Chain A
Amino acid sequence: MSAAVPVTGTASSIGVVGRAFVHPVFDLLVIGGGLSLLAAPLIVAMRTGTHDRALTQIIVPLLLIATSTHFAASTVRLYSKPGSFQTLPVMTMLFPALSFAVAGVALYSPELIGRNLYLLYLSWSPYHYAAQTFGLSSMYAARSGMPLQGVERRLLWWTCMLPFAHAFLRGARTGLGWLLDPVFFAEHPSLLALRGSAESVVAVAIFVVPIVFFAWVRWRTGRLLPLMVLSLLASNGVWWVVLQYYEAFVWATVFHGIQYIAIVLVFHLRDHPPTEDSRAAWVWASLKFYGVCLLLAYLLFDVWPYFFTALGFSFTESVLVCVAVINIHHFIVDRGIWQIRKDSGNRRAAET
């Protein structure tokens, strides 16, 4: 979710958390990343020894039910969103064939195309999370009657981008490491030291700047931004700073996935409400959407790679290329499906 920024809000009774879609506690924990803030100390504590193995056993099913499913959710949303074939013809109709072709080319040339495609995915991921944080933060601000415009909006964007900047500086082979490899830094120790210092400064800024931003908005407008915004900023910061780099990749995708599935479900149900207005009907409609996403996720991540192994490619290469293609497809599709235009279904869903 990268560009969901309605700029008007509706007045209503809004608590400290902000105007929730489901319930303030649900929104704060699931969409706002509160769950991840609670889980982070546990993950850090369980990092070593036998617990590490236990964590792996927990994370693999979580990757399927949260991470993989959220990738599929953007595709399901793309095809179930009213009017998407007219408004997004390239994404809806050309992307399946294009993705297939890119996967084939990457496998045919793993060291040139495959490797760079994979590094592109790894380098883009932190930006994608930062953009989702920005999209959700501005949406909650607007929903809570505080639409951010002009300099406030730009400052929020830069604040959201700090974890991306940190990940960009931190990656040995991704981000900056993709452009300048570790050997370059080994030969230029002063630049290596500068890189380390910049990384530390950004790590501190990730947690200080949001507080300064909140205080500044309060001073300018006389009103406090919803707590949801702070929680979203803090959770994305914790994912990329507190957790180790690859740990961040794994856990950030899980929590980002949970956050994403919740919000995409809200938007989907706004567009496709059940015919009967009962709790059971809403639950069934939600389960149906989730079930379709889960099935597609399983097919994309766990079945598709085997097709390439049947063609003679290694299992590992097939998995890595499929993962990279699915991720990049998701990043691009996301930009399309969360666009908020005047009179669009997204705008109505964001505001109601």
Chain B
Amino acid sequence: MRPWRSPGVNRVELAVFAAGVGALALAFAGGALVALRDWHRVPWASLNHMSVVGDLRAAGDLDRAIFELAAEQRINTSDVRSGLKLASLLSETGNPGSVDVLRLASENSLDARVHLRYAAKLAQLGRFDEVEVAVRRAEAFSTGSPDLWLIVGDMYDKVYRPEEATAAYARALEIDPDSVHARRALQRLGDGAPAPGEEVR
């Protein structure tokens, strides 16, 4: 690798090459010093960079854990799991930003469960118009299993919205007439009864 000895190599290109390689060499030297100072415990931390968040949480440094997870969300929007982790951590610390993080996670996900988590958060905050939209999106991504409506029913039940909860449990029962969960919930909410001869246990 001796470009200066190669015939026909342009001087400008050679100068840019020297600058690039020089900058990288300096960055490697500087990076090595920082790595030795701050991150000596994991020699390949960057290959499993989210483990750093676990380490920070374990060390009780929640602010830095949040800082790193937020950074992940700025660039890697496709990593919904770290978005959910960030939302949990923000909730833990009473930070109101968790709902926005969940919104972003749901906007980046084809997973009904992520949309339901966002819906549950909105329900906690009493933003029921937005809950409806989130549930509709969750439905679009669901596989048609009754579980979605059971979760929605539980979510409304938890925030004392019996009408919406009843409607959700009824939809679960429509999909799976044998759903004990839905029958029991409907019975409790006073809008449903066990099938004749069937006892709900």
| Option from B16, B26, B44, B76 in Cβ contact (under 8 Å) with A93 | B16
Query: Known contacts A97-B20, A186-B141; is A115 also within 8 Å of B32 by CB?
Result: no
Q: Which of B21, B69, B74, B110 has the most CB of A within 10 A?
A: B110
Q: How far is the CA of A171 from the CA of B30 in the complex (A)?
A: 37
A-contact bits for B104-117, CB 8 A (1 contact / 0 none): 00111111000100
Is A56 among interface residues, defined by CB-CB distance under 8 A? Answer: yes
The stretch among A2-10, A31-39, A273-281, A297-305 that forms the contact with chain B is: A297-305
Is A150 among interface residues, defined by CB-CB distance under 8 A? Answer: no
Is B68 among interface residues, defined by CB-CB distance under 8 A? Answer: yes
Nearest CB in chain B to that of A172: its residue: B110
Q: Which residues of B contact A98 (CB under 8 A)?
A: 20
Q: How far is the CB of A101 from chain B (nearest CB, A)?
A: 9
Q: How far is the CA of A89 from the CA of B13 in the complex (A)?
A: 8
* Contact (Cβ within 8 A) B20 A89: no
| Option from A111, A172, A189, A321 in Cβ contact (under 8 Å) with B108 | A172
Query: Known contacts A56-B48, A186-B141, A189-B140; is A306 also within 8 Å of B20 by CB?
Result: no
Q: How far is the CA of A137 from the CA of B176 in the complex (A)?
A: 50
Is A200 among interface residues, defined by CB-CB distance under 8 A? Answer: no
* Contact (Cβ within 8 A) B108 A316: no
A-contact bits for B8-29, CB 8 A (1 contact / 0 none): 1110011011011101101110
Q: How far is the CB of B7 from chain A (nearest CB, A)?
A: 7
The stretch among A16-24, A58-66, A205-213, A262-270 that forms the contact with chain B is: A58-66
* Contact (Cβ within 8 A) A183 B137: yes
Nearest CB in chain B to that of A79: its residue: B1
Is A310 among interface residues, defined by CB-CB distance under 8 A? Answer: yes
Q: Which residues of B contact A185 (CB under 8 A)?
A: 110, 140-141
Interface size classification for chain A: 35 or more
| Option from A86, A100, A122, A301 in Cβ contact (under 8 Å) with B24 | A100
* Contact (Cβ within 8 A) A314 B67: yes
Q: Which residues of A contact B108 (CB under 8 A)?
A: 172-173, 181-182
* Contact (Cβ within 8 A) A316 B3: no
Nearest CB in chain A to that of B67: its residue: A314
Q: Which residues of B contact A119 (CB under 8 A)?
A: 77-78
Q: How far is the CA of A235 from the CA of B148 in the complex (A)?
A: 36
Interface on chain B toward A: helix, strand, loop, or mixed SS? helix
* Contact (Cβ within 8 A) B23 A97: yes
* Contact (Cβ within 8 A) A94 B44: no
Query: Known contacts A85-B3, A96-B20, A303-B28; is A118 also within 8 Å of B76 by CB?
Result: yes
Q: Which residues of B contact A173 (CB under 8 A)?
A: 77-78, 108
26 CB < 8 A contacts A-B: A60-B48, A89-B9, A93-B13, A93-B14, A93-B16, A94-B13, A94-B20, A95-B20, A96-B20, A97-B19, A171-B78, A172-B108, A177-B110, A181-B107, A182-B110, A186-B140, A192-B141, A302-B43, A303-B32, A304-B31, A307-B27, A315-B46, A316-B53, A316-B69, A316-B71, A317-B71
A interface with B by C-beta (< 8 Å): 56, 60-61, 63-64, 68, 79-80, 83, 85-86, 89-90, 92-100, 110-111, 114-115, 118-119, 122, 171-174, 177, 181-183, 185-187, 189, 192, 298-299, 301-310, 314-317, 319-323
B interface with A by C-beta (< 8 Å): 1, 3, 6-10, 13-14, 16-17, 19-21, 23-24, 26-28, 30-35, 38-39, 43-50, 52-53, 67-69, 71-72, 74-78, 80, 106-111, 115, 136-137, 140-141
Q: Which 4 A-B pairs have the closest CB atoms?
A: A96-B20, A97-B20, A173-B78, A93-B17
- Beyond known contacts A97-B19, A306-B31: 10 more, CB 8 A cutoff: A56-B48, A86-B9, A93-B3, A93-B17, A94-B16, A94-B20, A172-B78, A177-B78, A299-B28, A317-B71
